[in-house]
A and B are shown apart, each in its own frame.
Chain A
Amino acid sequence: MKLAIRFLIIGLLTGWQLSWAEEITVQAAVDRNVINLDDVLTFTVTIEGTSDFPNVPAPESEGFIILSGPSQSSNIEIINGEMSASKQVQWRLAPTHAGQQSIPPVKIVYRRKVYQTEPITVIVNPAPQTAQPVPGSPATPAPPITTTARDLFLKANVAKSTVYKGEELLVSFELYYQNVRTYSPQKLPDAKGFWMEQFPEDRTPIVENVVMNGVAYKKATIRRLALFPTTTGELIIDPMVITCEVLVPRQRRRSMFDDFFNDSFFSDPFFSDTKTVEVRSESVSVRVLELPVQGRPKSFNGAVGSYVIESRIDTLQTRQDQALTLRYTVSGSGNINTIQLPALNLPANVELFEPSVKRTINNKGRSIRGAVAYEYVLITRSSGALQIPPLPFSFFNPASRRYQTSTAAGFNVTVKPADEKLAAQGAGFRKEEISLLGSDIRFIVRDNPNWQRIGTSVLSSFWFWLINSLLLLLIMGSVVFRWWANKLATNSIFARRWRAFNRAQDWIKAAQEQAGQSAAVFSSCDRALSGFIADRLGLPTSGIGPKEIQRALQEQQVDPELIERVNQVLNELEQRRFLPGEVTESESQNLINEITELIDRLIKVI
């Protein structure tokens, strides 16, 4: 159901559209099929059959250039509910060369359909001899037709034929014409040897009616220039070139050009065709005189015109080291751009900075006027009275033909001593720093220094580490020593253990000395061995027999073979001590050796 409605709507819309998508007709036409080379052709494209006019592209022909267009007009009529609409698009074309030229079809796209006009052929005859282009005219894509005809000319009007060097020479260009629609400047005159200032261009110049040589003209001043000669002698102002669009009658031949302007037809509004014409002025010669030497002031700097100089200062009371602003303004008429101010003559204690120069030029009036402002910044480096002398400015006035001098007023400035606090703040220095500023750096060291390898420091020096680690070891050693000494003094078991070996050695020594006395030798040997073991193991000194020693050694897990040997020796000593009889020297020596050996072995395990 919905689908059906949708189709219905689409169908209605397309049907409505179709009813309007009628066939349109496009036609192209030219006003003439045979023209001269200097004629202008009107090319018209007409569209009929729709009020929704499509765009019409410009004709593309190699034989023609477009002078103007497109201009469009449309016409819509509704008669008895029937609408008829037409549109005309026009271009003005100028032929580029003689012969048979064609304008190719113009393609128009309307509702995705392409319509074409018929191609048009135009026969272009060569231009008549009277309208040959002036030789040397610029070869523009649309070569304008140059005329020097007396009905249209440009006149260069110089105010004077003799001027002084640097004097303002006013040149105005006047267009004399009878029927010109528009003009456009092509080239300003070359004025070699002149400095040129332009007055603003007036797009709608005032038109006067004048009669010259019995012919009525319209006269318009289209350009004004101010020329300042920079050299002397005969100087030439070259022609100025403009192009004009001249109104010409339709269907008329150029051969009638000379007399149609006088025709009554001329005022007819039917004159709607135009022609582009190049117009150039005559060259003008000017004589430039050197400025008179007589009466030339010393301060003259080349300025020509009429000027006034003024001076201004921002304050008449200042402090040392503070900046002053001094302004000179030269204003008047003349070539402002070349004005140079003479050098200032200031005392040596004044620091003068490069001036900022500002020029303003007014070209709105009848002649070039303007002003140049010099702004100097100066700083006084000492206190007291500062005299700024008057500044004379000389110029040559061409009006009076005399040199004149305008003088800027001088000033007397009071310079107070620098405020100390201010100076310190201003420069950012303290007082003692200022006194330092004047002094020079201290002298170099001339003795050979103690060289050091780059990148090494004392912290990587061998001696530093050696000394300090030795000292550290010494301290640690002392601490250990004190701990040992204290323990030896207070802990008897530790002391006995520590001294056991020495005491055993003492007994062995005693036994060696007692050789021969058997009881004493055996007793000493017994004390050496059993005393040593008792001291090392912390056993009581008295009442200790071989059995107790054997048990204690077994507790220490001493090698059983060694225990057996110790036991044997101790038992033997026990028995022999109380048996009568002598002991031989070698026997006692063997005994001592054995005991020494046992002690040596024992000290390693207990």
Chain B
Amino acid sequence: MKLRIIWGLILGLLLTVNSLAKGSADFYFQKGNESYLTENYADAIQQYESVLANGFESSELYYNLGNAYYKIGRLGKSILNYERALKRSPKDKNIQFNLRLANLRVKDRIDIPPEFFLFRWHRALVQAFSISGWAWLMTLIFLVTCGLVVIQLVLNPVKLQRYLRRAAITGLVISALVLGLLLERQHLENSHSYAIILSPSTQSLAAPQSGSTELFIVHEGTKVRVLDRDVDWLKVELIDGKQGWITTRDLEII
């Protein structure tokens, strides 16, 4: 009896702490929004960043943070946060628009080589849902499939048996495909394979040590792919395929 009360208290405490923490995230988010409305962007950034410091994130937060950074002219930080927002809500039109606008101000205009259409479609498909989107879609399809399987095997209705079997197999295949897409999306997000240049301009070197041959210069806001890491140097690749080493001080991984 006593034990049950203690357990109940602990559970209640956990729930309260959790809701309190979420409440503080809401509080700072709203304070940030107020600062943004009064065009006090530096303060807004501080409020939004304190939500992140409290351990909470959301695509809306990253989007607002990107806006605030955009307003004070920190293009690199702005693009970084838009990219983080888009990663969580890939279909959000507002994020897409603002990111596009910010990217127009980036000095490096690297021509993207045309991609093979199948790859393009595939990428668009993977990015159609966020991780949780894919996860719950998979669960839903799996649930339906499961229902079909149970009806077919347990109730075993003679008349519908053939159709049910086909439907159940199709459902299983689709579930597996969606699971594949989910894992791919998960890999895309968690591989941390892209970074944004934050310093106004930085040199890309041939080797991970200062003083080695300078290959090219990239400017603030440019998106690069991270290939390798050596202590505080990152080997990056531009969209057009150029590769070089950049110090971690000058960029941040999305």
Interface residue ranges, A against B (CB under 8 Å) = 428-429, 433, 436-437, 439, 441-454, 457-459, 464, 467-468, 471, 474-475, 478-479, 481-482, 485
Given contacts A448-B26, A452-B56, contact A436 B150 (CB under 8 A): no
A436 and B58 within 8 A (CB)? no
> Known: A436-B100, A449-B59. Is A458-B135 also a contact (CB below 8 A)?
yes
Q: Contacts A458-B136, A474-B149 known; list 18 others, CB within 8 Å.
A: A436-B104, A437-B101, A441-B102, A444-B64, A445-B63, A446-B33, A449-B61, A451-B26, A453-B56, A454-B55, A458-B135, A459-B186, A464-B136, A471-B139, A471-B146, A475-B150, A478-B150, A481-B154
- B interface, over-half SS: helix
User: What's the minimum C-beta distance from B238 to chain A, rounded to whole angstroms?
Assistant: 15
User: Residue A474 contacts which of B94, B104, B109, B146 (CB distance < 8 angstroms)?
Assistant: B146
Q: A457-B132, A458-B135 are in contact. Are A482 and B156 (CB under 8 A)?
A: yes
B132 touches A444 (CB 8 A): no
Known: A441-B101, A457-B131, A457-B186. A450 touches B149 (CB 8 A): no
Chain B neighbourhood of A479, CB < 8 A:
149, 153
Residue of B nearest to A467 (CB): B139
Cβ-closest 3 pairs across A and B = A449-B58, A449-B60, A478-B153
Contacts of B138 in A (CB 8 A): 468
CB distance A441 to B146 under 8 Å? no
CA distance A464 to B135 in the complex (A): 8
The contact sample of 25 A-B pairs, CB cut-off 8 A, is A436-B101, A441-B67, A441-B102, A445-B64, A449-B29, A449-B58, A450-B58, A451-B25, A451-B56, A452-B58, A453-B57, A454-B57, A457-B131, A457-B189, A458-B131, A459-B131, A459-B186, A464-B135, A464-B139, A467-B143, A468-B139, A471-B142, A474-B149, A481-B154, A485-B156
B233 within 8 A of A: no
Q: How far is the CB of B38 from chain A (nearest CB, A)?
A: 12
Chain B residues within 8 Å of A467, by CB: 139, 143
Residues of B close to A464: CB separation below 8 A: 135-136, 139
Contact of A475 among B64, B146, B189 (CB under 8 A): B146
CA distance A433 to B103 in the complex (A): 10
List residues of chain A with CB within 8 A of the CB of B71.
Answer: 441
Contact A444 B36 (CB under 8 A): yes
B58 and A478 form a contact (CB under 8 A): no
A433 to B100, CA, bound (A): 9
Chain B residues with CB under 8 A of A446: 33
Q: Are B101 and A454 interface neighbours, CB within 8 A?
A: no
Beta-carbon contacts under 8 Å, B173-191 to A: 186, 189-190
Report the bound CA distance from A350 to B214 in whole Å: 37
Q: Enumerate chain B residues within 8 angstroms of A452, measured Cβ to Cβ.
A: 56-58
In whole angstroms, what is the CA distance A475 to B68 when docked?
51
User: Is B128 in the interface zone, CB < 8 Å from A?
Assistant: no
Q: Flag if A437 contacts B104 (CB, 8 Å).
A: yes
List residues of chain A with CB within 8 A of the CB of B242: none
Question: Is B97 at the interface (CB under 8 A from chain A)?
Answer: yes
- Interfacial chain B residues near A482, Cβ < 8 Å: 153-154, 156
How distant is the Cα of A445 from the Cα of B36 in the complex, in angstroms? 11
- Interface contact A448-B98, CB-CB below 8 Å: no
Residues of chain B lying within 8 A (CB to CB) of residue A451: 22, 25-26, 56-58
Q: 1/0 per position for B72-94, CB-CB distance to A under 8 A?
A: 00000000000000000000001
Contact call B63/A481, Cβ cutoff below 8 A: no
By the criterion CB–CB under 8 Å, are A448 and B29 in contact? yes
A residues near B135, Cβ cutoff 8 Å? 458-459, 464
Docked Cα-Cα span, A485 to B153, in Å, equals 10
Contact pattern, B 135-165, Cβ under 8 Å of A = 1, otherwise 0: 1101100110110011011101000000000
Given contacts A441-B70, A451-B22, A464-B135, contact A433 B60 (CB under 8 A): no
**Chain A contacts for B136, CB-based, 8 A:** 458, 464
Contact of A458 among B68, B132, B152 (CB under 8 A): B132
B53 to chain A, nearest CB (A): 10
Query: When the two chains form the complex, which single residue of A433, A437, A448, A457 contacts B30, counting CB atoms closer than 8 Å?
Result: A448
Q: How far is the CA of A474 from the CA of B148 in the complex (A)?
A: 11
B145: A residues at CB distance < 8 A:
475
Residues of B within 8 A of A441 (CB): 67, 70-71, 97-98, 101-102
- Residues of A within 8 Å of B253, CB to CB, are none
Cβ contacts B191-204/A at 8 Å (1 or 0 each): 00000000000000
CB distance from A499 to the nearest CB of B (A): 20
Chain A, residue nearest B186 (CB) = A459
Chain B residues within 8 Å of A458, by CB: 131-132, 135-136
Q: Which residues of B contact A454 (CB under 8 A)?
A: 52, 55-57
B residues in contact with A450, CB < 8 Å: 58
B101 to chain A: which residues have CB within 8 Å? Answer: 436-437, 439, 441
Q: Which of A443, A458, A474 gathers the greatest number of chain B CB atoms within 10 Å?
A: A458
Give A423 Cβ to nearest chain B Cβ, in Å.
14
Which residues from chain B contact A428 at a C-beta distance below 8 Å? 109
Contacts of A471 in B (CB 8 A): 139, 142-143, 146
The answer for the CA separation of A445 and B48 in the assembled complex, in Å, is 12
**Shortest beta-carbon distance, B69 to chain A, in Å?**
10
Q: How far is the CA of A171 from the CA of B201 in the complex (A)?
A: 54
What 1/0 flags go to B13-47 for Cβ under 8 Å of A? Answer: 00000000010011001100100100000000000
A442 contact set on B, CB distance < 8 A? 67, 94, 97-98
Distance of A94 Cα from B180 Cα, bound (Å): 102
A451 and B71 alpha carbons, distance in the complex (Å): 24
In the complex, what's the smallest C-beta–C-beta distance from A143 to chain B, in angstroms?
Answer: 53
Among A448, A449, A457, A475, point to the contact of B149 (Cβ < 8 A).
A475
> Which A residues are in CB contact (< 8 Å) with B63?
444-445
- In the bound complex, how far is the Cα of B36 from the Cα of A458, in angstroms? 31
The winner among A437, A452, A464 for most chain B CB atoms within 10 A is A452
Shortest Cβ gap from B141 to chain A (Å): 10
**What residues of A have a CB within 8 angstroms of the CB of B97 in the complex?**
441-442
CB distance from A207 to the nearest CB of B (A): 59
Residues of B within 8 A of A481 (CB): 153-154
Q: How far apart sit A429 and B101, CA to CA, in the bound complex (Å)?
A: 12
A444 B58 Cβ-Cβ under 8 A: no
- Is the beta-carbon distance between B104 and A429 smaller than 8 angstroms? yes
Closest beta carbon of chain B to A522's beta carbon, Å: 42
Q: Given A464-B139, A474-B146, A482-B153, are A445 and B60 also a contact pair (CB < 8 Å)? A: yes
Which residue of A has the minimal Cβ distance to B27?
A: A448
| Chain A positions within 8 Å of B58 at CB level | 449-452
User: Can you name the residue of chain B whose Cβ is closest to the Cβ of A485?
Assistant: B156
Contacts of A429 in B (CB 8 A): 104, 109
The closest CB in chain B to the CB of A457 belongs to B131
Q: Please tell me if the beta carbons of A474 and B142 are within 8 angstroms of each other in the complex.
A: no
A449 CB contacts on chain B under 8 angstroms: 29, 58-61
